[in-house]
Amino acid sequence: MDISDFYSTFFEEAEELLGDMEAHLLALDVDNPDMEQLNAIFRAAHSIKGGAGTFGFEALQRTTHLLENLLDYTRRGELTLRRDIVDTFLEAKDMLHDQLDAYRQGVEPDAEAMARICEVLQKLALEEIGEPAGDVAPATTVAPSTPPPASGGTGQSLSVALLGVSESDRKLLIEELGQLGDVLETRGEDDRYEVLMKSTASADDIEAVMCFIVEPEQLDIRSIPPEQLPVPVKTPEPQPKAETKSAARPAVDSRDGGANSSIRVPVAKVDHIINLVGELIITQSMLNQVVEDSEFTGDAGFASGLSLLQRTARDLQEAVMSVRMVPMDYVFSRFPRLVRDLAGKLGKDVELITEGKSTELDKSLTERIIDPLTHLVRNSLDHGLETPELRAAAGKPGTGRLTLSAQHQGGNILIEVSDDGAGLDRERILAKARSNGLPVSDNMSDEEVWQLIFAPGFSTAEAVSDVSGRGVGMDVVKRNIQAMGGHVDVISEAGQGTRTRIVLPLTLAILDGMSVRVGEETFILPVSAVIESLQPRADDLYTMAGGDVLLKVREDYLPLVALHHAMEVSGAVTDPTSAIVVIVQGEGRRYALLVDELVGQQQVVVKNLETNYRKVPGVSAATILGDGSVALILDIPDLHRLSQSKKASDAVARNSTVLSSKEVSAS
């Protein structure tokens, strides 16, 4: 067997263990540390060390060994925690992560960096405990009174005692021991169940395997004289190696609180299945269209079968889509460390609150939302939240509050980053916008003013720091969110704080769309952008200088965008009073989109247009309709810009025509 086949499994499990370790370290109360948390941190280091040793990752094993010994002293109360010691543990965890990445990429870890962190850990052990960490005996090894069993050779006589292990777990462990040697006898009760065996494996190797099921404290492995071994008994039923391993995994999960079996599947395979299901949905829609247009409409059996196919296809689609869904905790779990480090650097006290961690989102979106959220969190910490002194002067608690939340809202997910800081300064933003040459006015609504912070190069920071202030980031945040089919809004109140709301679709593969017809063409509007639709009256239409038309909707005046003009569609209805307007919203602005007809609402399979064709202004993607035709999915914010651009081009063309006419007359 090639052991490298299991590298990816080890890397993923070690990554999860490092994540758990960091989460517990960040949650530790240094003045009154929770013993369960200390044990969990120790177990994570212990498991990584065992796996690293099994796969021959020496640097990772050595670094983890030093950290594990210090953690063992901590949980035994011989090393008193302080904030700087937790910082050192976090730094060591980062080094373990770097080493893991290096092995994942098939290269050796940075020897200099490893030497540096090992020196730090050794120095910490020397100063706090009085002896180097490397001299500390590994925890939960063979009892000092007995010589450790040597690995290799013809086999050692061992007594493996399982302390307080349930009967179901005992069975799994005995089967596992059967893979490591000859089990000669089992005896004892629940509190101490003893397995006598001969094995060529060392105590550390046995412990490394078994610690995936039980705690290190639940094992007592000792060498015993061969004469104490009983007459060999029949070993347990041999199990195929693969079955034994697969049986062990549920036991690991049960230790965490629930019997849960799962498999790891490459994302590419899931994407392929989703694409196939999308094709199935399109084919089923095409069949429906054919039946509606054919003489089979009256065949009850055929219609019933088609209806069943539709339901099954829909269930299949939902089931496959759910496979890609991961909880937002995947995203939120990386921010406690960021907030802790950055708040310390800025001299601020910050309490991070996360809500809706179990809210699920498509995995591809969770990976793409991390960078925008990181920018927003850093901005809140640097610009939003005040120092304790300023908060006290403003009558606020010294500790600022930063909240990350997620919740489902219709067919979308709403992610918010909010703080109780100083809020945005309207006058300062307007002044900065004027100095940057942006078109602004004092009559702009707060909503429009807050959107100015997303302009490229916009920053009101008085000084550039290594945290922020260069005016880069927020425009990238907005572009990334729009690229995911979402939009971002800002709500702020002076002295009370700022709330940034991100609305995203749950997935990029399926879209809830509204079909509209213009001329002979059908377009898809994202339902999330649609507010309402109505037929305008002549009294509600106002023509402005330059040819722009505004539509009065209750107390608001919205610009009218003719879809046939923006997309250059011929044969469309041009009289607004004979057409339909759809009120849509994008980038915090609303406008009235003029279309011929509302066709209906349906879920559509999104096909990337840029990959298969090229970028088209005003269009975000495409889909295939039931009749086999291709429909364009409109990009609401970009469509407005496209319309404005075409109007400007038309005006330039008209002026050129007038000028040419005058030149001809003059000549």
Query: What is the C-alpha to C-alpha distance for residues 495 and 424, in angstroms, rounded to an integer?
Result: 8
Query: What is the C-alpha to C-alpha distance for residues 327 and 314, in angstroms, rounded to an integer?
Result: 23
pLDDT at residue 474 is higher than 50: yes
Q: What is the pTM of this model?
A: 0.59
Domain match, 275 and 381 both: yes
pLDDT at 250: 35
- The domain total for the chain is 4
Percent of the chain with pLDDT over 90: 13
Q: In what side-by-side order are the strands of the sheet with 580-586?
A: 530-534, 580-586, 589-595, 556-562, 549-553, 541-543
Mind listing the pLDDT tens digit for each residue in 436-459?
A: 888 888 888 888 888 888 887 776
Ranked by mean pLDDT, which of 137-151, 204-218, 573-587 comes out on top? 573-587
pLDDT at residue 595 is higher than 90: yes
Query: What is the C-alpha to C-alpha distance for residues 248 and 232, in angstroms, rounded to an integer?
Result: 26
> In this structure, what DSSP letter does residue 508 have?
S
pLDDT at residue 67 is higher than 50: yes
Pick from 90-99, 295-304, 641-650: least confident: 295-304
Split at pLDDT 50, 70, 90, the class of 134 is low
- For the residues 611-624, what does the mean pLDDT come to? 82
Query: What is the C-alpha to C-alpha distance for residues 129 and 379, in angstroms, rounded to an integer?
Result: 41
**CB-side neighbour CA atoms (13 Å) of 19:** 13
Looking at the domain assignment, is residue 39 inside a domain? yes
Give Cα 200 distance to the centre of its chain: 44
Looking at the domain assignment, is residue 134 inside a domain? no
**Cα-based angle 317, 322, 327 (whole degrees, multiple of 5):** 160
Contact between 530 and 610 (Cβ < 8 Å):
no
What CATH number is attached to the domain comprising 373? 3.30.565.10
Looking at the domain assignment, is residue 251 inside a domain? no
Looking at the domain assignment, is residue 538 inside a domain? yes
pLDDT at 260: 47
pLDDT at 405: 93
Query: What is the C-alpha to C-alpha distance for residues 39 and 42, in angstroms, rounded to an integer?
Result: 5
Of the two residues 288 and 395, the one the predictor is more confident about is: 395
Q: Domain residues for 580?
A: 510-651
Domain match, 198 and 219 both: yes
SS3 212: coil
- For the residues 558-573, what does the mean pLDDT come to? 90
Domain match, 434 and 523 both: no
- Label residue 423 left, alpha or beta by phi (over 0 means left) and psi (-120 to 50 means alpha): left
Domain end among 446, 480, 508: 508
What value does the mean pLDDT of the chain take? 79
Looking at the domain assignment, is residue 665 inside a domain? no
Q: In terms of Cα–Cα distance, which of 593, 659, 604 is closest to 631?
A: 604
Domain match, 323 and 439 both: yes
Domain match, 284 and 390 both: yes
Of the two residues 530 and 292, the one the predictor is more confident about is: 530
SS3 585: strand
Three-class secondary structure assignment of 124-182? HHHHHCCCCHHHCCCCCCCCCCCCCCCCCCCCEEEEEEECCCCHHHHHHHHHHHHHHEE
pLDDT at residue 211 is higher than 70: no
Contacts of 214 by beta carbon, 8 Å cutoff, 6+ apart? 162, 165, 169, 173, 255
pLDDT at residue 555 is higher than 90: no
Sign, CA dihedral 405-367-12-141, equals negative
Mind listing the pLDDT tens digit for each residue in 478-536?
A: 888 877 877 888 899 988 999 999 988 777 677 778 999 999 999 999 887 889 999 99
Split at pLDDT 50, 70, 90, the class of 233 is very low
Domain match, 491 and 635 both: no
Domain match, 289 and 407 both: yes
Pick from 215-219, 275-279, 325-329: least confident: 215-219
pLDDT at residue 79 is higher than 70: yes
Contact between 401 and 353 (Cβ < 8 Å):
yes
Looking at the domain assignment, is residue 16 inside a domain? yes
What CATH number is attached to the domain comprising 195? 3.30.70.400
- For the residues 290-313, what does the mean pLDDT come to? 76
- For the residues 468-480, what does the mean pLDDT come to? 69
pLDDT at 659: 57
pLDDT at 133: 60
Residue type, 56: G
Query: What is the C-alpha to C-alpha distance for residues 434 and 449, in angstroms, rounded to an integer?
Result: 12
Looking at the domain assignment, is residue 373 inside a domain? yes
pLDDT at 246: 34
Domain match, 520 and 500 both: no
pLDDT at 153: 43
Sign, CA dihedral 243-245-246-249, equals positive
Domain match, 306 and 273 both: yes
Query: What is the C-alpha to C-alpha distance for residues 331 and 368, in angstroms, rounded to an integer?
Result: 10
Pick from 138-152, 201-215, 266-280: least confident: 138-152
Domain end among 206, 223, 240: 223
Split at pLDDT 50, 70, 90, the class of 150 is very low
Query: What is the C-alpha to C-alpha distance for residues 550 and 560, in angstroms, rounded to an integer?
Result: 6
Q: In terms of Cα–Cα distance, which of 421, 416, 423, 422 is closest to 353?
A: 416
SS3 377: helix
- For the residues 223-246, what does the mean pLDDT come to? 54
Domain match, 113 and 194 both: no
Split at pLDDT 50, 70, 90, the class of 658 is low
Domain match, 491 and 526 both: no
pLDDT at 251: 37
Looking at the domain assignment, is residue 229 inside a domain? no
Query: What is the C-alpha to C-alpha distance for residues 438 and 434, in angstroms, rounded to an integer?
Result: 6
What CATH number is attached to the domain comprising 573? 2.40.50.180
Q: In terms of Cα–Cα distance, which of 127, 4, 140, 122 is closest to 67?
A: 122
pLDDT at 122: 86
Domain match, 487 and 526 both: no
Task: Extract the tokens encoding 16.
Answer: 């999860």
> In this structure, what DSSP letter does residue 110 have?
-
pLDDT at residue 419 is higher than 70: yes
pLDDT at 255: 39
Q: In what side-by-side order are the strands of the sheet with 350-355?
A: 350-355, 400-409, 412-419, 497-505, 487-493
- For the residues 9-37, what does the mean pLDDT come to? 86
Mind listing the pLDDT tens digit for each residue in 235-278?
A: 444 444 433 333 333 333 333 444 446 677 777 888 888 888 88
- For the residues 296-303, what does the mean pLDDT come to? 69
SS3 435: helix
What are the DSSP calls for 258-312, one per residue? S--------HHHHHHHHHHHHHHHHHHHHHHHHHHTSGGGG-HHHHHHHHHHHHH
Question: Residue 558, Cβ neighbours under 10 Å: how many?
Answer: 18
Q: In terms of Cα–Cα distance, which of 436, 373, 432 is closest to 405?
A: 373
Pairing between β-strand 156-162 and β-strand 630-634 as defined by DSSP bridges: unpaired
Query: What is the C-alpha to C-alpha distance for residues 196 and 240, in angstroms, rounded to an integer?
Result: 22
